[in-house]
Amino acid sequence: MSTNACRYLQLDVFSQRAGCGNPLGVVFGADDWSTQRMQGFARWANLVETTFVLPATESGASYRLRIFTPSREIAFAGHPSIGSAFAALSTGFCAASDGRLIQQCDAGLLPIMVEGSPECPMLSVAAPAARVEQATGADMLEVARILDGLTPGSLPPGLVSGGRRWWLAELADERQLRAWNAPVADIAALAKRSDTLGLCLFARSSDPAFELVVRAFPAGAGIVEDPASGAANALIAAYIASLEPKGALSRGYRVSQGRELGRDALLTLRIEADNRVWVGGHCALVIDGKTWWPQASQGFKQFT
């Protein structure tokens, strides 16, 4: 067996308990891997995202991060950023300075706040700036058709981008949101036509443990439902703050996500006075081992 093994961690993100968050694979030591090799491993791992933590190449950065879905590399995602920061700290790859890390990724240099105990830190990443886009009338009609029969909330549906690109819609009833059987094929068609990840729904809650319930359907990426969505939640927070600048949620809140999938993720959103959004949570380490991955596939052809 080859001796050039890389360290591999698998985590649950946005939960302190294994099995309750959003799984993430993190690879260390792949400094000389090609993009094709990384993509091949991410395809094999078959997680929503797999990341590669690399030495920083920009001044001031704590590390460089590359993020892959099973099918492509992406510039930014929330749960991979939180989980990779946790992995970088727990392995000693880097240390926080004044309670912060700086993540270098294709979305830029993003600060990550490190709070709490070293054994169970609370990590929050500053999401890329969000903006509400002008949607076509045809797309808005399609969103209305997908949501037909559901009771709308106080905010209208919107198309929002910032690191990722999502359709957002509020429902008036948490129970209705949790019970909804999403038309995945229709959401996938909408995502393809509008070049988005899919549709995120949210509803306000009276539960003392959280203020918002979120369900995310990234059918544009071939995923039926995401158990915990950092980037999508950051867009929801920015959307709420922009439309309700003096509302009860305009400075931050907690989110429950994933119960419909048998998970129980908890995300914390903070919104600063300049509308900068921080999305944060805890992580649980599930696997810590090694991976041996070939430089090139042998004996089969990869289809993309």
Q: 0.95 exceeded by the pTM?
A: no
Residues of the chain with pLDDT under 50: 1-2, 298-300, 302-304
Contact 67, 83 (CB under 8 A): no
- Please, are residues 66 and 49 in contact by the beta-carbon 8 Å criterion? no
> What is the model's pLDDT at position 299?
42
Query: Which residue segments constitute the domains of the chain, with CATH numbers given?
Result: 6-125+284-291 (3.10.310.10), 131-275 (3.10.310.10)
Residue-by-residue DSSP string for 139-182: HHHHHHHHTTTSPB-SSPPEEEEESEEEEEEEES-HHHHHH---
Report helix, strand or coil for 27: strand
Strand partners, 171: 152, 203
pLDDT of residue 181: 97
User: Residue 2: its pLDDT value, please?
Assistant: 46
- Residues comprising the chain, all counted: 304
Distance CA(174)–CA(170), nearest Å, equals 10
**Is-contact 213 177, C-beta < 8 A?**
yes
pLDDT given at position 303: 46
CA dist., res. 178 & res. 213, Å (int): 8
- For 91-109, write each residue's pLDDT tens digit: 999 999 999 999 999 999 9
Residues whose CB falls within 8 Å of the CB of residue 184, separated by 6 or more in sequence, listed in order: 217, 219, 224
pLDDT for 83-92, tens place per residue? 999 999 999 9
pLDDT (0 to 100) of residue 254:
98
Helix (H, G, I), strand (E, B) or coil at 41: helix
What ranges in the chain are assigned the alpha helix state H? 35-45, 78-90, 137-146, 174-179, 184-194, 230-243
Cβ proximity of 287 and 9 under 8 Å? yes
Instruction: Tell me phi and psi for residue 189, to 5 degrees.
Output: -65, -40
Q: Model confidence over 187-235: pLDDT tens digits?
A: 999 999 999 999 999 999 999 999 999 999 999 988 899 999 999 999 9
Q: What is the pLDDT of residue 300?
A: 46
